[in-house]
Amino acid sequence: MKLKASTLLRLKQNDLLISRDLNLVQFPKELEAIYKDQYRSGAAHEFRYRAPIILGLYSYLSLGTYQALPTAVRAEWAAFYGWVGIIITIAWLLAFIPTMNKWFDHYVGFGSMGAVALTFTLINVLDYGQNNVLFHAAMMYAVVIIYGFVGMRFYTAMIAGWCGGLIGIAVSTWLDTSIDWTFLNRTYTFSSFLGMALAYAIDRQHRENYLQNCMIELNRLELMRQAQQLSILSHQDPLTGLANRRYLDEVLEIEWNRAMRHQTPITIMMIDIDYFKLYNDSLGHLQGDQCLKRISILLSSISSRSDDLAARYGGEEFLLLFAMTNQDQALIQAQRLMELVRNIGIIHPRSNVSKHVTVSVGVATTIPHLNDNLSEFIAQADRALYIAKSNGRNQYHLTTTYHETHEVM
């Protein structure tokens, strides 16, 4: 039976449980609850296939016992012992009902308890004559099957086995029949301890396997987390958290081809922080890094759609990509960008255009065609940025493939 691994415990806790605490075949409270739920479902599913085997063994045992019985007690024995087969059949049918999975311990436990009690009682009540030893051996066989093959966990199997015997003793005493304690100690008691050892070994091994699966699952999730982190780091600029140049090139290529295929507009903005070298020289590189981070957060807020991208192009230069954005929409975004930079109000002690940090922006918009070139499109945005800077900075300049240019302060 293979259960779905839990990630509730950490690797060190798993190791500790495997090496020490599993001797009690019990997990910590939270994990035990998860394990029980999963185990009941898995055990019920397996019981669908085990029950026919148990029924087959029961039928074979019953036939042999029936033939060995004195004729006088055959019918009476069959009438009572037939209930064991009915108990097994009912438990088998219940295993096919998913809603009954959570009650697996109960219906199998009580069924096993009833089977042991019935077998125990019949041995004492009916007169088997010289075949009494054979039926004690048959009871041993049944007890071992209940402990080792039904699929109950250790404590459930132990309760079912011993309580079944106690009920058998109580009923036999109530019916005022003699109990051969010597035979019972050698058969029922011995088989119960043997069954307990089997149930304990099976339960402990199953729990060890479960914890091993938990460790494998934790390792798998950790590897996935690290792979995702590496993937993010390979696409991310470490200082600003924006896309790096490598990832930008990949996305630009994809969006360019998509715009070409569907004949939709695409816009890029090349952004440069005005007089950033002077800012660094006057306030230091730590403050310069903080300035880059604050501008990066602002750019991320502008490129919030799933198809948009904000990237660090190099140094104090950034690039914004807007898929399905035409010239009018590009102008709105450029104006919004300039306004946000003004509102953020980062003090610039040595700027020649403002008391605060400003940016110059080159905007390029196009609907790409088959013979158009992505590198040329980027170069257009770069030239637009150059014009914006040449015209005094703190402004944007927009160009389109239709050779129409617009300069806005």
Provide the annotated active-site residues.
316
Helix residue spans in 367-408 (DSSP H)? 374-390
Answer for the pair 27, 2: CB distance below 8 angstroms, yes or no. Answer: no
What does the buried/exposed string (b/e) look like for 75-97 if buried means 16 or more CB atoms within 10 Å of the residue's CB? eebeeebeebeebbbebbebbee
Report the Cα 380 to chain-centroid distance in Å: 48
Residue 335: which region, alpha, beta or left (left: phi > 0; alpha: psi -120 to 50)? alpha
Q: In sequence order, what are the beta bridge partners of 377?
A: none
Answer for the pair 240, 312: CB distance below 8 angstroms, yes or no. Answer: yes
Which burial class, exposed, middle or buried, applies to 329 when counting CB atoms under 10 A from its CB (0-12, 13-18, 19+)?
middle
Tokens matching residue 225: 């987390």
